[in-house]
Amino acid sequence: MVINNFVRLNVRKRAKYLCEYCHSPERSNATPFTIDHIIPQSLGGSDDLNNLALACHRCNQRRYNFITGIDPETLTQVVLFNPRNQNWSEHFIWIENGLKIIGTTPIGRATCSRFDFNDQDHDDEFILNSRKLWLTAGWHPPMGDLCQ
């Protein structure tokens, strides 16, 4: 099923135009962010608003159709962060003045690892360089997010 423009706009507004996973600002992107199925359609997820999240292209690609990840601290498999029923600030904090996201719970750590929030698995540090620019522009980190 194709998600109509009314639903798409409502998801974007509800997310305050931020990726609901890494909190990147949508206005930093040349194209609108994607609408992600929290429970992927390939695993039986629906187009219901409660199963939809705004996701930057980077997070959407890294998430793919995974619903679980491995917590690198406990080496246990846990469900990934769900922005519909979990509070971002209960699972993540910003460090280095908003440049890096750190998971503070098993769910947060597994999500950070699965989504590679801090480019640890890549040499280009694209997202870290982008966050530096967003900090300069005053777009980052989003209001209400915890920094340490």
- pLDDT by residue (tens digit) across 99-119? 889 999 999 999 999 999 987
Range in 23-37, 75-89, 103-117 with the lowest mean pLDDT: 23-37
Residue 143 lies in a domain: no
Identity of the residue numbered 35: I
Residue 121 pLDDT = 63
Closest C-alpha to 61, from 138, 11, 120, 115:
115
Residue 72 pLDDT = 97
Residue 142 lies in a domain: no
Residue 44 pLDDT = 93
Expressed as residue numbers, the domain containing 102 is: 5-137
**φ and ψ at residue 6, rounded to 5 degrees:** -65, -45
Closest C-alpha to 99, from 127, 74, 121, 77:
127
Residue 130 lies in a domain: yes
Q: Is the pLDDT of residue 145 over 80?
A: no
Number of domains in the chain: 1
Residue 36 lies in a domain: yes
Residue 34 lies in a domain: yes
Residue 109 lies in a domain: yes
Residue 99 lies in a domain: yes
pLDDT band at 87 (very low <50, low <70, confident <90, very high): very high
Residue 122 pLDDT = 61
- Global pTM value: 0.86
Residue 144 lies in a domain: no
